[in-house]
Amino acid sequence: MNSSRNFGMKILATSVITLIGTSAMADDIHTALSDATAWADLNLRYESVEQDNALEDASALTLRTRLGFSSGSVNGFSFTAEVEDSRIVLGQDEFTVGPTGFNVGEYSVIADPETTEVDQAFIQYKADNFTAKVGRQVITLDDHRFVGHVGWRQDRQTFDAVSAKYAASENLSLFYSYLYKRNRIFAEAADLDSKDHILHATYTSKIGKFVGYAYLLEIDSDTDNALDTYGVSYDGKTKGEKVNWAYGAEFATQSSESGAGETATDFDASYLNAYLAASFSGVTAKVDYEILGSDDGQYGFLTPLATLHKFNGWTDQFLGTPAQGLKDLKFSLSGGLAGGKWLLAYHDFTADDSSNGVDDLGSEINVQYTKKFAGKYNFGIKYGTYDAGDIKVDANRFWMWVGTRF
């Protein structure tokens, strides 16, 4: 009798514990869903390209849609998922996307393929000064020069990664990520498995921001390869009575190795950037000098994870650095007009190491105007014209877009 009663008590106790556990879990799920957020992000864009070559002029009208969901936090854990879709609109498809095999060899390139894919899907843990993410995620560092999301394109770049960020103090922030896949802008056909290590440290002080980094990249393939970059940067600001100043500098070294045996290659190159900007009467004038160095005219400094469209001109002539390297002297003016923002920029391109008859790499003019309206909508128009030098051909690109997020 006692044994039966004891058995019954155990069953009752187990049931109560299970019920309590189930109830607690149900509460956690309810909290996560109650605190969840969802969003939609749409961007309709027209782009045209003219190049002085045998390719037909290109034009594209595409609509990019992102639908996302982020749960609330339970014991520091949360989940984010986002789906991205890019579609051709009204049959405006006179353009080429080489990696996907779309109209290859017919038109100039507009890198906005039709695609539907998972843009983000990661679990996050956050506690005090520490944040970790596992899964597909957006990673951007500094000004996107070395690691960015290429958000200008309709199919932006994300990474399958494990990442961690730690605020060691009020002034010092540390970041590390291991990237095991690069989800690039040409849909899944051009994604790359990788074994990349991203290390980044930021220290802020009264005199400005200091950054140190190491980007150790390797494509996970059957070929030996390594692209290792180490660098430091500084950015500062000074406020005056009539003029506010911004200034900065950055330096990095890079080694590139690929292949084995007699076919092995080993190159070294350096990177330098310095800028000075003055803001007065609502206008900012800036001069920026950037050098992507060369190794004796055989190899140019590379930034394969960068938001490349943001740098060296909007006509995208230098998404890959020439073997002779690249010097970019840039002058720009920006300000406000009619409730929006305008920008005018001029680039003068030359080789870092003149060789094989390559020295003058041309020049480019960029113009842009953007404006927000009706609360949640944004409109933009921009134009880039490139005047070729010793290599490449003259090119013009035009964009107009409208977008919203809700």
CATH number, domain with residue 401 = 2.40.160.10
State residue 201's pLDDT score: 98
pLDDT tens across 175-234, in order? 999 999 999 999 988 999 999 999 999 999 999 999 999 999 999 998 999 999 999 999
Two structure tokens written together for 49: 């390209």
DSSP symbols for 327-389: EEEEEEEEEEETTEEEEEEEEEEEEEEEETTEEEEEEEEEEEEEEEETTTEEEEEEEEEEE--
Amino acid at site 140:
T
**Measured distance CA(88)–CA(113) in Å, rounded:** 8
Collect the ranges in the chain with pLDDT lower than 70: 1-26, 28
**Cβ contact 392:362 at 8 Å:** yes
Measured CA distances, 388 to 256, 297, 328, 346 (Å)? 28, 19, 14, 14
50-69 burial: b if 16+ Cβ within 10 Å, else e: bbeeebbebbbbbbbbbebe
Task: Say whether both 198 and 261 belong to one domain.
Answer: yes
pTM score over 0.85: yes
Task: Say whether both 290 and 393 belong to one domain.
Answer: yes
Of the candidates 204, 122, 208, 210, the residue with the CA atom closest to the CA atom of residue 167: 204
State residue 4's pLDDT score: 52
Task: Say whether both 249 and 175 belong to one domain.
Answer: yes
Amino acid at site 252:
A
pLDDT tens across 261-273, in order? 888 999 999 999 9
Task: Say whether both 98 and 30 belong to one domain.
Answer: no
State residue 18's pLDDT score: 61
Two structure tokens written together for 348: 């003068």
DSSP symbols for 283-330: EEEEEEEEEE-BSTTS-B---TTS-GGGSS-TT-TTSS--TT-EEEEE
Task: Say whether both 226 and 344 belong to one domain.
Answer: yes
Measured CA distances, 239 to 247, 278, 282, 301 (Å)? 12, 10, 14, 35
Range of the domain at 185: 36-405
Task: Say whether both 23 and 111 belong to one domain.
Answer: no
Task: Say whether both 138 and 286 belong to one domain.
Answer: yes
Task: Say whether both 20 and 50 belong to one domain.
Answer: no
Query: How many domains in the chain?
Result: 2
C-beta contacts of 394-398 below 8 A and 24+ residues apart: 394/51, 394/52, 395/49, 395/50, 395/51, 395/52, 395/108, 395/315, 395/317, 396/49, 396/50, 396/51, 396/315, 397/47, 397/48, 397/49, 397/50, 397/314, 397/315, 397/316, 398/47, 398/48
Task: Say whether both 110 and 182 belong to one domain.
Answer: yes
Task: Say whether both 221 and 175 belong to one domain.
Answer: yes
Task: Say whether both 116 and 21 belong to one domain.
Answer: no
Task: Say whether both 366 and 289 belong to one domain.
Answer: yes
